[in-house]
Structure 1
Amino acid sequence: MSAWRERWAGWTPRFAVATHDLAMVWLVWQGLHRLRYATMAQPLSMPLWSTEIGLVLLAQGFVFWRVGLYRGLWRFASVPDLINIVKASLFGLVAIGVSLFLYNRGELLSRAALLLYPFALSGMLGAPRVLFRTWKDHNSEHALRQDAVRTLILGAGQAGEALVRDLRRSGHYQPVGFLDDAARLRGTLVHGVPVLGRVDEVVRIARETAARLLVIAIPSADAETVRRVVAASEKTGLPFRMVPNLHDVLEGRSLPGQLKEVAIEDLLGRQPIMPDWRAIRDWLGGRSVLVTGAGGSIGAELCRQSVRHGSRRLALVEINELALITAHAALRRDFPDVELIPILGDCGDPAVMRHAMALAKPDTVFHAAAYKQVPLLEGQMREGVRNNVLTTETVAAASVEAGAGTFVLISTDKAVDPVNVLGATKRLAEMTALALTHGQPTRCVTVRFGNVLDSAGSVVPMFREQIRRGGPVTVTDPDVTRYFMTIPEACVLILQASAMGNHEAIYTLDMGEPVAIRVLAEQMIRLAGKQPGRDVAIMYTGLRPGEKLHETLFHADERYRATSHPKILLAEPREVPVAQVRKALSALRDASRDYDNPLLGELLRAAVPEFTPMAPSFDITGGASTVIPFPGRTVRP
């Protein structure tokens, strides 16, 4: 009984609307014919009901149903609904004409009434809907709570227009005005809200309107415009939010209609990546995928992107139990139909990888597990070699043995002309992957990119925590720059590069322009509602061991060429001496077993000739760094 009542309650409004619409059809049909008959020399009488009128209502009602006129709600009537009404009226005219012609050859049917019918009916159906919505919007505006937040909107375009309706509907916000740089909009009204001036006048206008919140409604703006608008908003001292762009909504990072805080990536000039989704889906669709380091920043996003684009089975290999539980639970919640295989273990253990390969039978293996902290690895040579090089050997060998179609190594821009342990071990990992897959059916793909915004251990969460504690924010050098990408952007490009099909390839992602870390710190302080140097100090600590002032994306001996995607470049892999790499791996394995750091350093330099270390010693306890040059090497100042 309860289910029946709920169903009836859902149908009652639509039944009432359908009754109203059919009443309007009867009224229009009667009115037009009575007017036409009244002008005749011998006026004809028009009955209130007849078989012809029944056919008119039946034909027009059928058309209303077919065009979906009752799927919308009067409360949200808009231009598409009005267009639907016009279509229904025109198609209804055709249906009525055919029905009456078949019934009585259209006897006593007025052509003038037929000609006017769709226009009159469109007006009679559309006007009540528009009036009802206007009335509801008017009531919403007057039903604002006494404590509604006075809101000033920056941007009077489509996003601003939609925002006004959403704010009024919520009842918690009162739009008091728009700011827009378009001169043609000055003095106009958008849903009754005036456009009061330019964005750079926000300080004066916010004070005059007693605004308590600013909302930036320019979701399609480039980074330079966002920075300018944010800078103007900061001067008011008021809190400000931003309407998310469509890309963020589609990727699930924001909800439709939800305001978000301005994030650092909004200010760094990272334009949304437009990948070839069809190529990615064609490559991933129905495949079994295995990801190592599945609980890390890149690994977890690769898992999400893989199942989102069609993978039928996903194996998650992770040594950190909490990270594995978290990643598995999130995927199970969002993708309940995908077969998930969580595997707790060290991917550098051959037994773990054999077990994982047997369970997953992967078509594609993404090797994302790695150590990546530059200063720390300078004093942890053994672990850097073991986890970044020897683990890559284990995973690549297991992939070849299991017959995986593609092995994808996640590398770094620091592997280009390496000056630190991270860069050298990742370069040797690239060489290892190429050596082990050489001449094998397994395709080897290496993808290089730079720093990832908001990844675990990166500079952004560190700055955020330092700002939360009141500072100081520590920057190594005033001139230091780095390339940055967002996590989703990097992972989408990894999938895009992997889908391209070259048997042995090294892809470098276009990272855009380098970002000064000092500027990044200043912007993050401002986004927190504070002023650099006044509220939060910036302290320069000097470059740490292994760090360069500027990163390099390309190696001189690797010829780069464009690919089908403008953000991905293909490097021709340098020739890898397979026998020498295998011999080096054997020696590194023995030295790692004995924890012989000096020998590991010598072997690493021999295996990667371009490795020119800067400062290989780092005191993990937090004491002073000590620069100890490798024998026979010149330490750069």
Structure 2
Amino acid sequence: MFAAYRTHLLIVLDLSAVVLSLAVSFWMQYANPWNEPYPGLWLVYTVTAGVIGLICMLRMKLHRRIWQYAGVSEMLSIIAAALWTGIVPFLLTNAIYGWDVPMLLLLHHLTGMIFMMAGPRLLWRAFCDKFGTRRRTGRHRALIIGAGSCGTLIAKELLQNDAAQFVPVGFIDDDPYKTKLTIYELPVYGGRHDITRIAESERIDEIIIAMPSVSKSQISAIINICKQTKARLKIVPDLQELIQGRSTVNRVRDVSVEDLLGRDPIRTDLDNIANYVEGKTVLITGAGGSIGSELCRQIAPFDPKRLLLLGHGENSIYTIEMELRATFPELVIETVIADVQDRKRMEDVFKKFHPQVVFHAAAHKHVPLMERNPSEAIKNNVFGTRNVAECADQFAAERFVLISTDKAVNPTSIMGTTKRIAEMFIQSLDKHSRTKFVAVRFGNVLGSRGSVIPRFKDQIEKGGPVTVTHPEMVRYFMTIPEAVQLVIQAGAFASGGEVFILDMGKPVKIYDLAADLIRLSGYEPNVDMDIQFSGIREGEKLFEELLTNEEGLSSTKHDRIFIGKPTQINRSELEFEIRKLEQVLGQQPEQIRALLKHLVPTYSNVS
């Protein structure tokens, strides 16, 4: 009801502006405007202008716009309506009265209409901007990095949104032409090198990075500067979310460790991937895990004929199944609850579905747990891999991709050694099989179950302390999506027997990672929150490696994927040693470790 009254009121006011401005124009032009130069001219002109004006106003929906947020497009619509309302009646009356109406009358009329129609709206906009942004006390003070369209959009919403938790006090932008200028009465203080100084002098509580279109490496560089302040860091979601209108103040998120890595998006050869996945039956073991579930998400868009989700835990498989069915309703999905250690069950699965592409992600991966349970590591990582790989060979799968780890290189843990044996087994099998067997080796993935990042975040939420095993421990890190994307891409390069190594950038010191997370949470390491050292856990080593001594590194078509050349492995000898492993299951850990050392001579037990 109120909206209808508001619309009618605006129409009446705009028509009044048309008539009143025309009356003033006639009065300014003629001594007796109602009778000169022709009786009835004013009435004809006024009626014509009123009708044309009403049509233009309704057509351009001037009365359905929220003028509190008016911008250039709204002003242009008023000018366009005024031009039509002024020019059309001017031409009609001139045609009727012998082209004797002066041009100056039209200019006065246009000027008056624009002033009377736009003036009240701009006054209302100014009022809302001025007094609607005054309720800013008691909130956190925010500095916005980026004075472009995204930054100004965020500032505007923060100023007008009473529910916002913080209020902007200014901008930082590297463009020298913007320095010392103001946007919404907020100053642009300077470039990124002024962040630390401004954060201190202006008592900044929050820094919002509003630069969704710049590269991740630049974002990382800015974050490294912001870490020197005591302010909490937040970041606007990526450009795609901004374009699709999903990015608002409520969507501004905390800066994550992924932002700190600063790696730009991966270039994917979609054609090569589609060639070996599209229209194929794809099996993913461990489909409910961190890597397995992401494999499902990224393979689904390539239109496989059928996607088989195999896992031992029913809850995790159910979760990824429901997600995929909601996102890809046309995709044919089969869920298989099974244990890769069960050879008969694996044969039944392959016999029923005949998968053409297999991604083997099922594995025990927690190093300290596997040190205390070596038999379980062997059963799952070695015998489970053997079962799935031999079934792939038996039922003529086209490709088999093993998800491996950098811990398989010169291993110091049971887990790493079992993964190295799995690599060796598929390399030996590849020599006598029509199936292309390859392994993909990479380091830690951020956010995976049981990884260090969630543990650090949990400790910070509880108020600390944050525990680090050793001050010099370093690890390679990737995000789950980029690791999986490279795994799928590596599968396209498979010719058989290779171990693909993913470029994970520079290794990261775990202590620095913990300190960064504490700073990003608004605390000062070892001042507001302690970092304590708990000692290296069993099976761990300070530095991870990517290649064994026998593997030479060669490049591929992708700048983030490299190949470790296949090593010479005698299959019969390997199978003989693996059968000996079966016999020591459940025995004393010393016996198991001795046999693992015989199988993998580079294995060194440091626990």
TM-score by length of 1: 0.72
Q: Counterpart of 1:372? A: 365
Is the 2:291–2:361 Cα contact (8 Å) retained in structure 1? yes
| Separation of aligned partners in 2, 1:446 and 1:72 | 59
Aligned ranges for residues 597-636 of structure 1 at < 5 Å?
597-609=589-601, 611-615=602-606
Q: Counterpart of 1:262? A: 255
1:300 to 293, 296, 319: 293
| Separation of aligned partners in 2, 1:82 and 1:529 | 43
Secondary structure of 2:228's aligned partner: helix
Q: Taking structure 1 as reference, are residues 351 and 180 closer, same or farther at Cα in structure 2, changes over 3 Å only?
A: same
2:405 to 382, 401, 412: 412
Q: Counterpart of 2:226? A: 229
Q: Counterpart of 1:191? A: 184
Q: Taking structure 1 as reference, are residues 336 and 140 closer, same or farther at Cα in structure 2, changes over 3 Å only?
A: farther
CA apart distance, 1:389: 1.0
Secondary structure of 2:254's aligned partner: coil
Residues 472-506 of structure 1, C-alpha deviation per residue, up to 9 Å, x if partnerless? 33322221211111112211221222233434432
| Separation of aligned partners in 2, 1:309 and 1:80 | 41
Matched, 1:178 2:170: yes
Q: Taking structure 1 as reference, are residues 313 and 206 closer, same or farther at Cα in structure 2, changes over 3 Å only?
A: farther
Q: Counterpart of 2:154? A: 163
Matched, 1:202 2:167: no
Is the 2:472–2:509 Cα contact (8 Å) retained in structure 1? yes
Q: Counterpart of 1:315? A: 308
Is the 1:247–1:272 Cα contact (8 Å) retained in structure 2? no
Secondary structure of 1:289's aligned partner: strand
Q: Counterpart of 2:143? A: 153
Percent identical among aligned pairs is 32
In structure 2, what residue type is equivalent to 1:160? G
Q: Counterpart of 1:591? A: 583
CA apart distance, 1:367: 0.9
User: Quick check: 525-534 or 443-452, which moved more?
Assistant: 525-534
Matched, 1:581 2:574: yes
| Separation of aligned partners in 1, 2:476 and 2:66 | 49
In structure 2, what residue type is equivalent to 1:155? I
TM-score by length of 2: 0.75
Q: Counterpart of 1:455? A: 448
| Separation of aligned partners in 2, 1:130 and 1:278 | 51
Is the 2:230–2:522 Cα contact (8 Å) retained in structure 1? no
Q: Taking structure 1 as reference, are residues 176 and 418 closer, same or farther at Cα in structure 2, changes over 3 Å only?
A: closer
Is the 1:347–1:391 Cα contact (8 Å) retained in structure 2? yes
Q: Counterpart of 1:104? A: none
| Separation of aligned partners in 2, 1:128 and 1:436 | 81
| Separation of aligned partners in 1, 2:146 and 2:206 | 13
Secondary structure of 2:501's aligned partner: strand
| Separation of aligned partners in 2, 1:133 and 1:278 | 49
Q: Counterpart of 1:634? A: none
Residues 601-625 of structure 1, C-alpha deviation per residue, up to 9 Å, x if partnerless? 344333323x23133xxxxxxxxx6
CA apart distance, 1:345: 2.1
Q: Counterpart of 1:398? A: 391
Q: Taking structure 1 as reference, are residues 376 and 309 closer, same or farther at Cα in structure 2, changes over 3 Å only?
A: same
CA apart distance, 1:411: 0.4
In structure 2, what residue type is equivalent to 1:232? T
Secondary structure of 1:331's aligned partner: helix
The alignment's C-alpha RMSD in Å is 5.1
User: Quick check: 295-304 or 255-264, which moved more?
Assistant: 255-264
Q: Counterpart of 1:217? A: 209
| Separation of aligned partners in 1, 2:429 and 2:585 | 21
Q: Taking structure 1 as reference, are residues 248 and 564 closer, same or farther at Cα in structure 2, changes over 3 Å only?
A: farther
Q: Counterpart of 1:431? A: 424
2:487 to 470, 484, 494: 494
| Separation of aligned partners in 2, 1:426 and 1:454 | 21
| Separation of aligned partners in 1, 2:286 and 2:397 | 18
| Separation of aligned partners in 2, 1:538 and 1:349 | 44
Matched, 1:246 2:238: yes
Where structure 1 has 5 or more consecutive residues not aligned to the other structure, the ranges are: 31-42, 94-107, 235-239, 616-624, 626-637
User: Quick check: 370-379 or 240-249, which moved more?
Assistant: 240-249
| Separation of aligned partners in 2, 1:243 and 1:136 | 27
In structure 2, what residue type is equivalent to 1:299? G
Q: Counterpart of 1:39? A: none
Where structure 2 has 5 or more consecutive residues not aligned to the other structure, the ranges are: 23-37, 85-98
Residues 126-161 of structure 1, C-alpha deviation per residue, up to 9 Å, x if partnerless? 99999997777667546x58x773542232422321
Is the 1:421–1:546 Cα contact (8 Å) retained in structure 2? yes
| Separation of aligned partners in 2, 1:82 and 1:317 | 60
2:347 to 349, 354, 358: 354
2:477 to 464, 480, 484: 484
Q: Taking structure 1 as reference, are residues 77 and 492 closer, same or farther at Cα in structure 2, changes over 3 Å only?
A: farther
Q: Counterpart of 2:465? A: 472
Q: Taking structure 1 as reference, are residues 320 and 181 closer, same or farther at Cα in structure 2, changes over 3 Å only?
A: same
